[in-house]
Amino acid sequence: MCLPCEGGGSIAALKHIVSCSFGKDSLATILLALEYGEPLDEAVYCEVMFDKTISGEVPEHRDFIYHTAIPKLERMGVEVRVLRAEKTYVDLFTGTVTRGPKKGMLRAFPLCGKCYVQRDCKIKPICQYQKNLPADTVQYIGIAYDEQKRLSRLKNHQVSLLAKYKFTEEDAKQLCYKAGLLSPVYAFTDRGGCWFCPNAKRKELRHLYDHHPELWERMLELQALPGKVSEKFNRTETFSDIDARFRMEDAQKSLFENAA
């Protein structure tokens, strides 16, 4: 993207950044920028934290980010900036309501579609960082060519290289795979998100239950805290409900295997 200059020609925008979650679309955006010589100054990643020491990323994805993706991008000449909020999921969960009829109660689980964790732990630090950028900074957004509804929402100085080069979501996935930059989470999910996300699908929750019992237990501990605004983890269930359902499934499977 170019901006007009006084001589009637054009000058390159002062800075070009890519918002990077290390999912297929944002990594494919970086790969396309490198392949086609698009200007790129840095990749900006905001890591949501569960608490002060535990990442909100699914462990396999976090390992991929820090042990595979960032080192490989840096070898390619891409600077990666990591942002984190001062607040963590646990900080927000255990914070209390300060006014209204539920004053003094724990804020507890974020609402689906109104996630205060995304607002305070991701959007806020990104917006704070962007305030220090030049006003004409171009932001590459990882939205695929076949996501026309999302593309229509792009604002000024936001650009989709996937759309420019007509890369669909599947194209993006294949590009990352060929480059050795496809996160292992795509083996059990088609979306990114924190492991405590209220929008998590059954397969994601089951993966957490099966492979990361220590994280699962932390969520059960939060569920057990008294005085919460809501007991619901998502729109329909408590985390204890989900835990009980998985335990029942395991018990039924065990009975079937023993009977066989």
Tell me the pLDDT tens digit for each residue of 112-153: 777 899 999 999 999 999 999 999 999 999 999 999 999 999
Tell me if 215 is assigned to some domain: no
152: in domain: yes
Residue 58, in any domain of the structure:
yes
Find all residues with CB under 8 Å of 245, minimum gap 6, and list them: 237
In a domain, 243, yes or no: no
State the pLDDT at residue 259.
75
Whether residue 207 lies inside any domain: the answer is no
Number of domains in the chain: 1
In a domain, 68, yes or no: yes
Q: Which amino acid is at 7?
A: G
Residue-wise pLDDT for 195-248, tens only, equals 999 999 999 999 999 999 999 999 999 999 999 999 999 999 999 999 999 999
The domain spanning residue 116 has which CATH number?
Answer: 3.40.50.620
Q: Show the CA angle centred on residue 50, arms to residues 232 and 42, nearest 5°.
A: 125
The residue segments making up the domain with residue 140 are 2-189
* Residue 256, both tokens: 């079937």
Which pair of structure tokens corresponds to residue 206? 């089951």
With respect to residue 140, please indicate whether it lies within any of the assigned structural domains: yes
Residue 234 belongs to some domain of the structure: no
Q: What is the pTM of this model?
A: 0.89
Q: Which two tokens stand for residue 230?
A: 């809501």
Q: Quote the tokens at residue 242.
A: 């989900």
